[in-house]
């Protein structure tokens, strides 16, 4: 009787598995902005590896210390076992029967992005990588943006508590470690006190405000002047009469075209400093052209974390900025 019952249970389990197309995947692992490259060691030590390292190792603009856009590690195909396969970002590259480039998600774990690049010979593989390198970097960074926003949504601050966001008709996915410094109804300043390692004396900061849209052709040219004006008005130093935030005069910020909430925007990266003081750090500014409301919506994040790398802190602010929704 026990044998019959056991056979019945096994049959039910097999049928249930056969009728369920969903496979429960493990949680992916790995730090943000890190990519595991699966390729032969000889390729990694040759021209292909050099091309990948140079591409992923391009320095981020606006940081006081040199930091690459993406960190990278390599494993040979025969070493790409169970533990390696749960990495969050994976690039599989090498020789195949034909030229191929494609992206797949959540193959071995979730969330996970796996990019495949194949060509018929070594020279072709390098060419295929160079052809798609910008798209590859963009895909991995967007994957990490999505992942970061997903984590923040689990502990999201309630937008309704901020007068400025309500008045401006803006929503953002901000995690609940940020505290209010100032919320006037026209200007919002939030601060997250960093609590890990040597950066525990530092902070991540968010500013949100809007200004009238006057001449759309001059928006990008005026970003530095606007942030200096806002810094003098709202971000004082220990002596408000003489000390306030400005754009670092010895470093020219970089401005790029961007899109936020489907709207034209400008992304500016540079360094801030406190006038007549020694405080400084990197900033990330998104100026969004909101034609519907005849205004510019500005999100700025800036970091103060002396003596430590700051890529991860700026990336957190970037993920929050790109969650913006404008009514």
CATH number for 297? 3.40.1000.10
Residue at a domain's end among 103, 138, 153:
153
Residue at 11 is within a domain: no
Both 91 and 235 in one domain: the answer is no
CATH number at residue 104: 3.30.379
Using the 3D structure, point to which of 153, 176, 198 is the last residue of a domain: 153
Residue 117: inside a domain, yes or no? yes
Please state whether beta strands 203-212 and 71-75 pair in parallel, antiparallel, or not at all (unpaired): unpaired
Residue 29 maps to a domain: yes
Same domain for 169 and 309, yes or no, is yes
Quick one: 179 and 132 in the same domain?
no
Q: Which domain holds residue 246?
A: 155-326
pLDDT tens for the chain, 327 residues long, are: 444 434 433 343 444 444 445 668 899 999 999 999 999 999 999 999 999 999 999 999 999 889 999 999 999 999 999 899 999 999 999 999 999 999 999 999 999 999 999 999 999 999 999 999 999 999 999 999 999 999 999 999 998 899 999 999 999 999 999 999 999 999 999 999 987 555 567 899 999 999 999 999 999 999 999 999 999 999 998 888 889 999 998 889 999 999 999 999 999 999 999 998 888 999 999 999 999 999 999 999 999 998 889 999 999 999 999 999 999
* φ, ψ at 85 (rounded to 5°): -70, -10
One domain for residues 163 and 308: yes
133 and 190 assigned to the same domain: no
Read off the DSSP letter of residue 148: H
10 within domain boundaries: no
Structural domain contains residue 7:
no
pTM: 0.89
Any domain includes 16: no
Q: How many domains is the chain partitioned into structurally?
A: 2
Same domain, 297 and 221: yes
Question: Is 108 found in the same domain as 30?
Answer: yes
End-of-domain residue from the set 122, 153, 184: 153
In-domain check, residue 114: yes
Strand ranges (E), the chain:
26-27, 34-38, 71-75, 89-95, 100-105, 109-110, 113-119, 170-171, 179-183, 187-193, 203-212, 245-247, 254-260, 263-274, 280-290, 295-304, 325-326
């Amino acid at each position: 009787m026990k044998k019959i019952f056991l056979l019945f249970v096994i049959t039910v389990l097999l049928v249930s598995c056969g009728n369920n197309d969903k496979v429960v995947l493990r949680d992916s692992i790995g730090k943000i902005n890190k990519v595991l490259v699966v390729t032969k060691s000889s390729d990694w030590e040759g021209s292909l590896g050099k091309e990948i390292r140079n591409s992923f190792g391009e320095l981020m603009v606006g940081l006081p210390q040199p930091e690459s856009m993406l960190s990278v590690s390599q494993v040979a195909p025969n070493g790409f076992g169970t533990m390696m396969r749960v990495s969050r970002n994976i690039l599989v590259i090498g020789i195949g029967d034909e030229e191929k480039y494609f992206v797949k998600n959540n193959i071995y774990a979730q969330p996970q992005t796996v990019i495949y690049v194949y060509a018929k010979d070594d020279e072709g593989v390098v060419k295929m990588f160079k052809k798609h390198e910008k798209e590859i970097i963009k895909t991995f960074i967007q994957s990490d943006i999505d992942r970061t926003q997903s984590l923040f949504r689990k502990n999201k601050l309630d937008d309704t508590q901020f007068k400025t966001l309500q008045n401006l008709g803006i929503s953002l996915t901000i995690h609940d470690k940020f505290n209010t410094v100032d919320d006037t109804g026209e200007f919002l300043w939030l601060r997250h006190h960093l609590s890990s390692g040597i950066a525990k004396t530092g902070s991540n900061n968010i500013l949100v405000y809007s200004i009238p849209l006057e001449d759309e052709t001059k928006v990008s040219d005026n970003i530095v002047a606007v942030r200096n004006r806002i810094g003098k008005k709202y971000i004082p130093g220990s002596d408000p009469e003489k000390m306030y935030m400005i754009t670092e005069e010895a470093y020219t910020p970089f401005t790029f075209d961007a899109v936020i909430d489907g709207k034209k925007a400008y992304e500016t990266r540079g360094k801030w400093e406190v006038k007549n003081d020694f405080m400084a750090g990197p900033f990330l500014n998104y100026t969004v052209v909101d034609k519907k409301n005849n205004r510019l919506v500005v999100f700025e994040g800036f970091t103060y974390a002396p003596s430590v790398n700051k890529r991860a802190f700026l990336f957190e602010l970037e993920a929050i900025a790109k969650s913006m929704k404008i009514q």
